Amino acid sequence: MRGRYLSGLFLAASLFNASGNVSQAAETIVPGYQPRMDSDEAGLWLEADQLESALRQSPQHVADEALNDYLETLVCGLAGAQCASIRVLAIETPESNAFCLPNGTMVVQTGLLLRMENEAQLAFVLGHELAHYLKRHSLTHHEARRNIEGSMHLLWMLSGFTLLPKLLADGWLAAHDRDQEREADADGFNAAVGLGYDPRQAEIIWSNVEQEESANPKRSSPSLFLADHPTNKERLAAMKQRAGELQAQMQANNLGTEAFRAVILPLRSAWLEQEINRGEFSESIAVLQRLIKSDPGDGHLQYYLGESYRRRNEKGDNDRALAAYRAAIAGTNAPVAAHRSLGLVALKSGQKTAAREAFHQYLALAPDANDRPTVEYYLKTIGE
Amino acid sequence: MGIKLVSLFLLCATLAGCQSVAPNGPRIADVGHGIEVSRQAAWTVQEIGPPRGKHQYIWTVDGFALNEMVFTTGISRGDPIFPDPQDDYDLPVYHATMLPDEVMELVAASLRKFGYQQLRTDSLHPVPFGTATGFRFSFTYTTDDGLEMKGTAVIAQRGGLDVILFTAPTEYYFDHYLPMVEDVFASIRVFDVDVTIPACEFANALSLSFGCPTPKKTSN
Amino acid sequence: MERSSATFALILLSLCAAGCATTAARTARDVNIQFSSPTKRVLLVGPAVELSEVTTSGEEEVRADWTAAAGEFIVKDISAHFAATQTELVIANKPSTPREVQLVKLQGAVERSILDHAYSGGRPLKSKKGGTFDWTLGPGADALRQRYGADYALFVGVHDSYTSTGRAVLIATTVLFLGVPAPGGRQYGLASLVDLRTGNVIWFNELSTRHGDLRTEAEAQRSVNDLLKDIPL
């Protein structure tokens, strides 16, 4: 067995060197760069091209012109000399994420746009993702993975398929990823601050993430060893420190709130519906409560808060839902459905009068509603 | 109704696949929980289950990606609508106190857990479900590949939840096969062991007495 | 027109694992090839081509150069096939409407169903008794006919993988130490011929083999011949 292991290790070492066509190009992307056709990088770009094409044809592609123009301008500013090689693509999915493909496509998910409070926060996130692209992290990660997995795979097979070599490989890769993430945090931060954005906004992003995640009692803490991102606490501390350093130096305090809200607010309702349809109601409640602080009279936000409570349906949620629907109706632009949902909650808690009133109000405001027969059915059950 | 039909039903149930007179004509299919529907020869049947004692039937004409009819009946309170054998989908569960809106949301939430994207429901309205009252709604979604799909579903709360749904691509398939689906829905016959007045099902569950008779104690 | 590699990959997942032999082509009943105008034109959708290298750990990595070369060979060979009967081959562009996008995606779903049900080892369907081959995209396919002026469309996808040096070493090693070789690469291809007037799939073929090398012109020619076996056009 030991003889096998040793010769296996020897082979592993030779495999480490034998794998892949490692790119010889500079560490940072320069304008007009094209990888050699036989390189790993060209393969990654081809896959990226195919993914970009699929996303553009997807029903989830957000075609809204104002949004696309806004994002292109923002990313262009952050990319500086690289502006011409970047394209932006917005996708309607509730995950709070953005990523830059190796071919220069910046994909922004609407879950992220929902959670950002202003342009500055968005700039820090997109700056971070741009940094990954500019430093070609996909490629170096890919090469690292290919190297380690080749040799580790052999060791794994020879050792009788035990888990430890695989875990070691995964842990090594995760550490490599964490280094990349720290680098992207730093580069992205510098890029955004360089454009005049308020450095204090970066840490607010992270404390909001922290707040949302801790609202969910079911969320398990990720393994630190296998985590490919530094923990929130670590990033928060890093951000605070950098912000403190820069505050003294620069006059950067641009938030870009007006421009951001002008583009985002008209599109938010659809994204809110997707958010609560995730089924993670405690997290949605945390996000909505934070958004409501900035827009206390927004009927849509209060409505979706009500929906989150109603569908979570834990102890006390019925009353919270009722309060939220009432706040929605008292605010501006409440969706007509707020009356209907109020009726549902009132019906479930045995409040016949309130339910009857709410259902009648719904039918009065939406006489052509395609679920009218159901509301009439509820009214019949209550007894008119 | 009465003794004659009940014994006919029992006789049928003991035979493997009740035949109608014409061999290529529609057959009577037992889909569980006392429900029978008419099934045309073109449908191929696959039976899943039982998860916790219940059955699920899936029918198709051309393959599940092109047309799929799902029957999952007699779902007990505390159970998810669809089987989750490895218990890793974290599926929401049925409660008898659910309003029809909430049952529709339960179906939608379950389908989302199985990866149905951008799922939206619409047009919830009461329909006959045999002699009981059910609710019908339509929905749309997209697959992981981005293929746009349409769906229609019928739900009934009869001391256990019944869900029948049909999905197919929006391009050609849904509209083309909808008449066959409507035939199935129209053919629903329900044999209840315990008869509860359907309009009062959830009212009773919520202990609201809106002129509804007090129910007998049922095992479910 | 592009076909999503993701869709194609999913189709591949439904193909049987190692040990699958090349299977027969399927043709619909009563196929009667007729063109609506003197200009005989066929639309080529795709080819969706992906050539990869199998790494040491068994993962596949796309090679841009191999993929580009294979794509060129395949288009050239398919053109030549149709040219023999004075039929013009037109290559589809990116979809110009959402409906075109959906038609291509629907074709993917139809292919998946064909693989699941039309071959032995799959689940037979009552609506296709006696081996009837009867699948369609529906009359919406006419949108493609209107755009390109073609009466028929050929949908083609090919995926091929080749062992890397590291993988070859691993295979040799595992044979030495474990007595069992780790799997190498294989070639998969799918092709369907659709009558764009009805949307009906009139011919379908699945190719699955360990041999063949699409990186060279001569070998690519052989693979295309295999792929277009028994095509009625």
pLDDT, tens only, C82-133? 999 999 999 999 998 999 999 999 999 999 899 888 887 778 899 998 878 9
Report pLDDT for C172.
Answer: 67
Q: What is the pTM of this model?
A: 0.84
Say whether pLDDT at A264 is over 70. Answer: yes
Of A58, A274, A381, the CB nearest to B210: A381
Q: Do A59 and B118 touch (CB under 8 A)?
A: yes
**In the predicted structure, residue B18 carries a pLDDT above the cut 50:** no
The enclosing H or E element of B175 equals: helix B173-186
pLDDT band at C16 (very low <50, low <70, confident <90, very high): very low
In this prediction, residue C116 carries a pLDDT of 87
pLDDT at A222: 56
Flag whether pLDDT at B186 surpasses 90: yes
Q: How far apart are CA C214 and CA A119, in angstroms?
A: 49
Check if the beta carbon of residue A254 is closer than 8 Å to that of residue A197: yes
- Dist. CA C102–CA B173, nearest whole Å: 12
Q: What sections of B52-132 are H helices per DSSP?
A: 100-113
For residues B51 and A360, the model is more confident at: A360
Please tell me the predicted confidence (pLDDT) of residue A193: 86
Q: Is A105 helix (H, G, I), strand (E, B) or coil?
A: strand
Residue A13 class from Cβ within 10 Å (0-12 exposed, 13-18 middle, 19+ buried)?
exposed
Residue A141 at interface with chain C, using a CB cutoff of 8 Å: no
A68 three-state secondary structure: helix
Inter-chain contact A149–C56, Cβ cutoff 8 Å?
Answer: yes
Q: Chain C closest CA to B42's CA: distance in Å?
A: 5
Q: Is A50 on the interface with C (CB under 8 A)?
A: yes
Which residue would you say has higher pLDDT here, A384 or B218?
A: A384
Cα angle for residues C13, C19, C21 (degrees, 5° grid): 90
Which residues fall within 8 angstroms of residue C193, CB to CB, at 6 or more apart? C152, C153, C154, C201, C202, C203, C204, C231, C232, C233
Q: What gap in Å lies between CA B160 and CA B208, rounded to an integer?
A: 19
> Which two structure tokens, joined as six digits, stand for B163?
């869900």
The SS3 of residue B211 is: coil
Burial group, residue B34, by CB count within 10 angstroms (0-12, 13-18, 19+): buried
| A residues 87-146 closer than 8 Å to B (CB) | 92
Q: Which residues of C126-151 are buried (b: 16+ CB within 10 A; e: fewer)?
A: ebbeeeebebbbbebbebbbebbebb
Q: Please state, rounded to an integer, the average pLDDT across all residues of chain A.
A: 83
Q: What is the average pLDDT score of chain C?
A: 84
Global ipTM: 0.84
Of C4, C103, C127, the CB nearest to B62: C127
Measured in whole angstroms, the distance separating CA B138 from the mean position of its chain's CA atoms is 13
Domain positions in chain A are 20-247, 267-382
Average pLDDT over residues C15-35: 70
Helix C64-83 to helix C217-227 angle, to the nearest 10 degrees?
A: 60
**Is pLDDT above 80 for B131?**
yes
- Annotate A338-368 with DSSP letters as a single string: HHHHHHHHHHHTT-HHHHHHHHHHHHHH-TT
Chain A residue with CA closest to B103: the answer is A311
H helices of chain A, in order, are 2-18, 40-57, 65-79, 110-115, 119-134, 137-158, 164-194, 200-214, 232-249, 257-264, 268-276, 281-294, 299-312, 317-330, 337-348, 352-365, 372-382
Mean pLDDT of A356-360: 97
Other CB atoms within a 10 A radius of the CB of residue A2 amount to 6
pLDDT of residue A8: 45
Tell if the CB–CB gap between A37 and C170 is shorter than 8 Å.
no
Higher pLDDT, C175 or C199: C199
How would residue B208 be classed by pLDDT, with cut points 50, 70 and 90? Answer: low
Q: Are strands C41-54 and C88-91 parallel, antiparallel or unpaired?
A: parallel
The pLDDT of residue C130 is 81
Average pLDDT over residues C163-169: 69
Q: In chain C, what residues touch B172 (CB-CB under 8 Å)?
A: 106, 136-140, 199
- Residue A38: per-residue pLDDT: 86
How far is the C-alpha of A271 from the C-alpha of B146, rounded, in Å? 18
Facing residue for A54 by CB, picked from C6, C173, C174: C6
Name the closest residue on chain A to residue B133, using Cα atoms: A377
Q: Quote the minimal CA–CA distance from B183 to chain C in Å.
A: 17
Contacts 24+ apart (CB under 8 A), C66-69: C66/C162, C66/C214, C66/C215, C67/A46, C68/A37, C69/C214, C69/C215
**Mean of the pLDDT values across residues B130-154?**
94
Q: Hey, of A52, A56, A348, A351, which one would you mutate to test binding to chain B, going by the most B CBs within 10 A of its CB?
A: A348
Can you point out the beta strands (E) in B50-194?
A: 56-60, 68-75, 117-129, 132-142, 148-157, 161-169, 189-190
Lowest mean pLDDT among A172-176, B128-132, C227-231: A172-176
pLDDT band (50, 70, 90) for residue C8: low
Q: Return the structure tokens found at B28.
A: 């009577």
CB-CB contact of A66 with A84 (8 Å): no
Tell me, which fold does domain A267-382 have in CATH? 1.25.40
**B171, C138: Cβ pair inside 8 Å?**
yes
Q: Is the dihedral of CA B207, B213, B217, B219 positive or negative?
A: negative
Judged by a CB distance cut-off of 8 A, whether residue A321 touches chain B is no
Mean pLDDT (whole number) for A127-137: 84
Reported as a pLDDT band with limits 50, 70 and 90, residue C171 is low
Asked if B148 is an interface residue toward chain A (Cβ–Cβ < 8 A), one would say yes
> Quick one: which of A18, A22, A201 has its CA closest to A124?
A201
pLDDT at A17 over 50: no
Q: How many CB pairs under 8 A join B and C?
A: 73
- The pLDDT tens digits for C127-161 are 998 878 999 999 999 999 999 999 999 999 888 88
Q: What is the rounded average pLDDT of the residues A32-39?
A: 85
**How confident is the model over B19-58, as pLDDT tens digits?**
334 456 889 999 988 999 999 999 999 877 655 446 789 9
Identify the band that residue C186 occupies on the pLDDT scale cut at 50, 70 and 90.
confident
Q: Output the DSSP codes for A259-306.
A: HHHHHHGGGHHHHHHHHHTTS-HHHHHHHHHHHHHH-TTBHHHHHHHH
For C230, other C-beta atoms within 10 Å of its C-beta total 10
Range with the poorest average pLDDT among A303-307, B108-112, C161-165: C161-165
Chains that touch B (3 or more CB pairs under 8 A): A, C
Which DSSP string do the residues of chain C spell out, in sequence order?
----HHHHHHHHHTS--TTPPP---EE-TT-----SSSS-EEEEEEEEEEEEEE-TTS-EEE-HHHHHHHHHHHHHHHHHHHHTTT-EEEE--S-SSHHHHHHHHHHHHHHHHHHHHSSBTB---GGGGGG----B--GGGHHHHHHH--SEEEEEEEEEEEE-HHHHHHHHHHHHHHSSPPP---EEEEEEEEETTTTEEEEEEEEEES---TTSHHHHHHHHHHHTTT---
Residue C6 has pLDDT above 80, yes or no: no
Whether pLDDT at C198 is above 90:
yes
The predicted-structure confidence for A80-117, as pLDDT tens digits, reads as follows: 888 998 999 999 999 888 888 888 999 999 999 999 99
B122 touches chain A (CB under 8 A): yes
Report the percentage of chain C scoring pLDDT > 90.
Answer: 47
Q: Per-residue confidence at B6, pLDDT binned at 50, 70, 90?
A: very low
User: Does pLDDT of A225 surpass 60?
Assistant: no
Rounded CA separation A102/A204 (Å): 28
Q: Each residue of A164-190: pLDDT tens digit? A: 555 555 665 565 577 788 888 888 888
> Does B147 reach chain C within 8 Å, measured CB to CB?
yes
What letter does residue A221 receive in the DSSP assignment?
A: P
pLDDT at B89 over 80: no
Enumerate the residues of chain B whose CB falls inside 8 A of the CB of residue C108: 145, 147
Higher pLDDT, A183 or B214: A183
Q: Is the pLDDT of residue A290 over 70?
A: yes
Residues of chain C with Cβ-Cβ distance to B42 below 8 Å are 126-127
Q: To 10 degrees, the CA torsion angle through C167, C172, C174, C176?
A: -170
Mean pLDDT of A321-349: 97
pLDDT recorded at residue C50: 86
Res C158: pLDDT: 87
**Better pLDDT: A342 or A248:** A342
- Radius of gyration, alpha carbons of chain A: 26
Weakest mean pLDDT among A21-35, A55-69, A327-341, C133-147: A21-35
Residues of C in contact with B61 (CB under 8 A): 125, 127
Confidence of residue C12 (pLDDT cuts 50, 70, 90): low
Task: Evaluate whether A129 touches A98 at the Cβ level (below 8 Å).
Answer: yes
Strand ranges of the sheet holding B44-48, from the earlier edge strand across to the other edge: B44-48, B56-60, B68-75, B161-169, B148-157, B132-142, B117-129
β-strand B68-75 against B117-129: which pairing, if any? Answer: unpaired
Omega before A222 cis (within 30°)? no
How do residues B70-82 score in pLDDT, each as one tens digit?
A: 999 999 899 999 8
Higher pLDDT, A341 or C160: A341
For residues C122 and C44, which has the higher predicted lDDT (pLDDT)? C44
User: How far is the alpha carbon of A347 from chain B, nearest alpha carbon, in Å?
Assistant: 9
Residue A54 with chain C: CB contacts under 8 Å: 4-6
Q: Does residue B98 surpass a pLDDT of 90?
A: yes
Q: How far apart are CA B172 and CA B177, in angstroms?
A: 9
- State whether residue B169 sits within 8 Å of chain C by CB: yes
Q: Give me the residue from A4, A43, A54 closest to C64, CB to CB.
A: A43
- pLDDT above 90 covers a percentage of chain A that reads 45
Check B169 against C117: CB less than 8 A apart: no
Start-to-end CA distance of chain A, whole Å, equals: 83
pLDDT higher than 50, residue C21 = no
Looking up tokens 């052989």 gives C222
Residue B169 scores a pLDDT above 90: yes
Please give the C-alpha separations between residue C12 and each of A86, C9, C155, in angstroms, as whole numbers: 32, 5, 15
Neighbours of chain A (3+ CB pairs under 8 A): B, C
Question: Nearest-CA distance from C67 to chain A in Å?
Answer: 9
> What region, left, alpha or beta, does residue A313 occupy, with left being phi > 0 and alpha being psi -120 to 50 degrees?
left
Q: Does residue A266 have a cis bond before it (omega within 30 degrees)?
A: no
| A237 pLDDT tier (thresholds 50, 70, 90) | confident
